[in-house]
Amino acid sequence: MSAVKYDYKKLTTNIDNFLYISWEVTTFCNYSCSYCWPESHDNVNKWPTDFNKIVIFFNKLRKAYENKKIFIEIMGGEPTLWPDLKNFIRFFNNNFFINLVTNFTKNKRYWEDFPRVCLFSLSFHPERASVDNFLEKLDILCKKQENIAISFMYLPQYKEKNFEMIKKIKEKNYKVFFVSKIIKNYETGMHLESYTKEDFDNIKRNNFYNSNNLNLIFPSKFVLDGKEQNINFWKEIQEKKQNSWVGWKCYIGSKRLFIKANGDIYKATCRVGGKIGNIYDENFFKLEKEYEICTKKICECKVDAFIEKEFVE
């Protein structure tokens, strides 16, 4: 397989020596958004029920990758449905850098004693979410947490709801970062046909607001042959269909893991390299090699894309 060619031969990110884990703790969700991949809210895999086994696995993982910074992105489904989520975060907060991805639907009391994490990734779903309720909880979170990012799901028929939310956030001067997200068809990967030029202009105008408010220690920028790229790089290469590294070395496994809600472990969300273990297995998984040769025509996941890649002659 010949490697696709670009004007660079090595891709890295602005963070060195790391392992980035995306952990899907459940496929249960209290929402059923029209644009969400069905697998993410099929209500099949509830959440971890044996907390001790979870602790054992992540302690083993910490020792196996002890020379690396370990980032854990906790997602779902809706991860706040997991009764032991707060306990897990309190248990491992000093060992891992944690990013919680949530639809932020839990009540105000839930967030009042929520432990600090490195990043809160909130999503506002206008089909179902209430502006006032979301803002009441955001007010609580902003007083307790530092790095907060909000993704506004842009549906043309609900754009006024998004505008209202954005306006109120600016008025209250919340120290948050937000983006307006283009909704894509989960089957085709294409954006909604109902988008107009005005919609794309609205999305562009309300993107990357307050990015200087984030003190990110997570990988956030691409680096090509040693040159750091701007924050829009991922969007730009997607538009040009250059998010493909077929035939390149990709250091998934050694720098990237994806854990499904049933506990199955893969080297990345793309599943290249196949299943390598399960978090409930007695024996910890072993990596047979540091990298895989990419076989995916398109790299859909930004975190997978961040993982170090080298052109193969």
Judge whether 303 and 121 are in contact, CB under 8 Å: no
Residue 312 has pLDDT above 70, yes or no: yes
Residue, of 292 and 220, whose pLDDT is higher = 292
pLDDT of residue 36: 77
Residue 215 has pLDDT above 80, yes or no: no
pLDDT of residue 191: 66
* Percent above pLDDT 90 for the chain: 63
Per-residue model confidence as pLDDT tens digits over 4-28: 899 999 999 988 899 999 999 999 9
Q: Select from 3.20.20.70, 3.90.110.10, 2.60.40.790, 3.40.30.10 the CATH code of 16-220+254-289.
A: 3.20.20.70
Per-residue model confidence as pLDDT tens digits over 97-156: 999 999 999 999 999 999 999 999 999 999 999 999 999 999 999 998 888 999 998 888
pLDDT of residue 213: 60
Residue, of 177 and 304, whose pLDDT is higher = 304
Summarize the confidence of residues 261-282 as an average pLDDT: 94
pLDDT of residue 174: 86
Averaged pLDDT score across all residues of the chain: 89
pLDDT of residue 104: 97
Range picked from 1-15, 31-45, 82-96 for highest mean pLDDT: 82-96
Summarize the confidence of residues 250-264 as an average pLDDT: 96
pLDDT of residue 55: 96
pLDDT of residue 56: 95
Per-residue model confidence as pLDDT tens digits over 40-62: 777 788 899 899 999 999 999 99
Least confident of 73-77, 189-193, 308-312: 189-193
